[in-house]
Amino acid sequence: MNVPKTGQPEVNDVRLHKQVLAHLTAAGATDAEQQAADFVERVRAGRTNTPPDNDAKLWGATSFALGAGLSSKDRMIVARQLIAILRRLREPHRQTWAPGDELPTPPPAKMADLDGDVWMHQKAGNGCYRMSSKDRRRNADSTHDYEGVQVWPFLLEAEGPFTEVTSRR
């Protein structure tokens, strides 16, 4: 396994390609073989200039690249699911959830979204999450409303995938 300049071990590209191809084929993507190869190439290209906990640029490029053959909503969801596949291979010691995944029992206490913002489980509602105050302040100028509580399935579709936050965060 190659180790790039970042010190992070590379994801096994053959395994990533295989899992992405299976997912794209099941999702009905046109030219799934080429799309899978392109996704793996985007991952390779982004390894050195993307923070390890921020996959937003990769998601944006992937959802754009999936343009043909999928509706705009399906493109965004499938792109989030592909990022989840990547995260599961990249960090097998942490759980990752993508759009369509069920809420686990017990729900994760803290999890990081697509671009690394941390969301905290709210004790008052099972499957209800709120962005951490630090990240809400950082995103204060955003057009999105991060002040309220978000519910699991909608949160996964809007901000996912989510990866559990370990004690080092």
Please check the confidence at residue 141 and state whether its pLDDT lies above 90: no
Please check the confidence at residue 26 and state whether its pLDDT lies above 50: yes
User: pLDDT-derived band of residue 145, with 50, 70 and 90 as boundaries?
Assistant: low
pLDDT at 4: 45
Q: 72-113 pLDDT, tens per residue?
A: 889 999 999 999 999 999 889 999 999 999 999 999 999 999
Q: 50-77 pLDDT, tens per residue?
A: 666 789 889 988 999 898 778 888 999 9
In the chain the beta strands, taken as DSSP E runs, fall at 96-97, 110-112, 118-121, 128-131, 150-151, 162-164
Average pLDDT over residues 125-145: 81
pLDDT at 102: 95
User: pLDDT-derived band of residue 5, with 50, 70 and 90 as boundaries?
Assistant: very low
Q: Which residue from 25, 12, 65, 26 is spatially nearest to 42, judged by alpha carbons? A: 65
User: pLDDT-derived band of residue 44, with 50, 70 and 90 as boundaries?
Assistant: confident
Q: What are phi and psi of 128, to 5 degrees?
A: -105, 130
For residues 90 and 40, is the Cβ–Cβ distance under 8 A? no
